[in-house]
């Protein structure tokens, strides 16, 4: 999930939001200010409803962040690096580098998020019922409590990609000792849950109101699709067992010296090469970035003689440089950024590259191995 806006870091973890959060925040604020709060405590100034609605919406997303942060902190405690936390349309995503090594570790990471939401909801509920304060504030707090309780319960439903699907995965893994069997069980449960929600949404549209039913259908469609995607990814992982980077890479690719200008490179290398992307190398032969034919073509002809490839190159992150004997499965944890997924080096020199096309072929072959 790509972040549209970076909010900063919490405990060293980059935190950001997707643009869809703005849509949901606006819908929550409108619903609270236009219906929920006036219905609970009528007769207040419209400005007061709006101020409290915006504050409550912000607190709701803060509770979502607490849910994801709980996942992230337990994952780090379990020695799994965390890349980022992103809030988006359907809640939040905690991106981790790798997976739990044991069923217990996965169970702990999966459960802590919903338990955090239930705890936040419980605390807000107790405060709303027993603490003294303005009725309007207590009503907003009650809404926040109910939303967090609902969030916690919903996330515990047994189907991928929900936290409850991870819990189901951990339990099946523990009972059978077969991680791949657990993968299939969680993914199939997620697809079934998604279809059930779609059916419930259709029934609600037909027999009650269309708004709630439409929302159920959207959530069900998302769950079913995400579970199917996860099943495909898991099957690809199974098919890639024992496959090495050298088995899937493009060997001895044409390279783009950082000190050459675009015009010279196009006439001497790019025009005769079959590649669409080129690793850019420094004087010592070490990779520093990549450049594509599209990026070369975007340079105006008048500037091609003065533009160096090193200035045009897209930087290459350290994790994008791999050895030929590394397991190919690591590439699934580092999906291609543009046309180039990884550069393969041996002895400090480039011996191959893995392109987006190489990865697509690798995944198709992995799925064929699993279905054969």
Is residue 371 within 8 Å of 340, Cβ to Cβ? no
Residue 85's DSSP bridge partners are 15, 94
Handedness of CA 139, 86, 14, 116 (dihedral sign): positive
Which two tokens mark 151? 């969030």
Pairwise CA distance, residues 173 & 370, whole Å: 19
Nearest in space to 117 (alpha carbons), one of 92, 100, 139: 92
Are 160 and 230 in contact, with CB atoms under 8 Å apart?
yes
Dihedral angle over CA of 346, 347, 349, 355, nearest 10: 20
CB atoms within 10 A of CB 152: 22
Q: What are the residues whose beta carbons fall under 8 Å from the beta carbon of 353, sequence distance 6 or more?
A: 249, 250, 253, 277, 279, 340, 342, 343, 344
Q: Can 319 be counted among the known catalytic residues?
A: no
User: What span, in angstroms and rounded, lies between the C-alpha atoms of 108 and 115?
Assistant: 10
Interatomic CA distance for residues 349 and 356, integer angstroms: 21
Closest to 106 in 3D by CA, of 57, 21, 168, 26: 168
Which pair of structure tokens corresponds to residue 124?
A: 């807000």
Task: Give the span between the Cα atoms of 218 and 226, in whole angstroms.
Answer: 12
Query: Could you write out the three-class secondary structure of 303-367?
Result: HCCCCEHHHHCEECCHHHEECCCCEHHHHHHCCCECCEEEEEEECCEEEEEEEHHHHHHHHHHHH
Distance CA 49, CA 34 (A): 8
The catalytic residues are: 68
């Amino acid at each position: 999930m790509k972040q549209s806006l970076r909010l900063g870091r919490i405990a060293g973890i980059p935190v950001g939001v997707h643009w869809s959060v703005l849509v949901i925040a606006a819908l929550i604020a409108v619903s609270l200010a236009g219906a929920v709060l006036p219905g609970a405590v009528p007769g207040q100034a419209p400005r007061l409803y709006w101020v409290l609605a915006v504050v409550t919406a912000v607190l709701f997303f803060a509770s979502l962040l607490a849910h994801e942060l709980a996942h992230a902190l337990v994952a780090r405690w379990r020695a799994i690096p965390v890349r980022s936390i992103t809030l988006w349309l359907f809640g939040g995503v905690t991106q981790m580098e790798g997976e739990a090594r044991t069923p217990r570790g996965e169970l702990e990471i999966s459960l802590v998020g919903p338990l955090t939401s239930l705890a936040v909801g419980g605390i807000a509920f107790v405060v709303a019922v027993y603490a003294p304060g303005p009725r309007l504030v207590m009503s907003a707090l009650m809404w926040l409590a109910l939303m967090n309780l609902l969030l916690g319960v919903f996330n515990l439903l047994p189907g991928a990609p929900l936290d409850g699907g991870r819990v189901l995965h951990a339990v099946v893994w523990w009972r059978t000792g077969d991680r791949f069997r657990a993968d299939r069980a969680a993914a199939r449960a997620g697809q079934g849950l998604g279809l059930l929600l779609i059916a419930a949404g259709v029934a609600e549209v037909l027999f009650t109101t269309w708004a709630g039913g439409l929302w159920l259908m959207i959530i069900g469609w998302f769950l079913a699709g995400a579970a199917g995607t996860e099943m495909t990814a898991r099957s690809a992982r199974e098919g890639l067992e024992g496959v090495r980077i050298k088995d899937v890479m493009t060997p001895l690719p044409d390279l783009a010296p950082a000190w050459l200008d675009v015009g010279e490179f196009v006439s001497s290398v790019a025009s005769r090469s079959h590649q669409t992307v080129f690793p850019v190398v420094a004087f010592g032969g070490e990779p520093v970035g990549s450049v594509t034919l599209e990026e070369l073509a975007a340079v105006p002809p008048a500037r091609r003689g003065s533009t160096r490839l090193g200035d045009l190159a897209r930087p290459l992150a350290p994790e994008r440089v791999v050895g030929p004997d590394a397991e190919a499965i690591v590439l699934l944890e580092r999906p291609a950024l543009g046309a180039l997924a990884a550069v393969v080096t041996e002895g400090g020199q480039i011996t191959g590259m893995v392109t987006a096309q190489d990865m697509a072929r690798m995944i198709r072959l992995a799925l064929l191995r699993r279905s054969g």
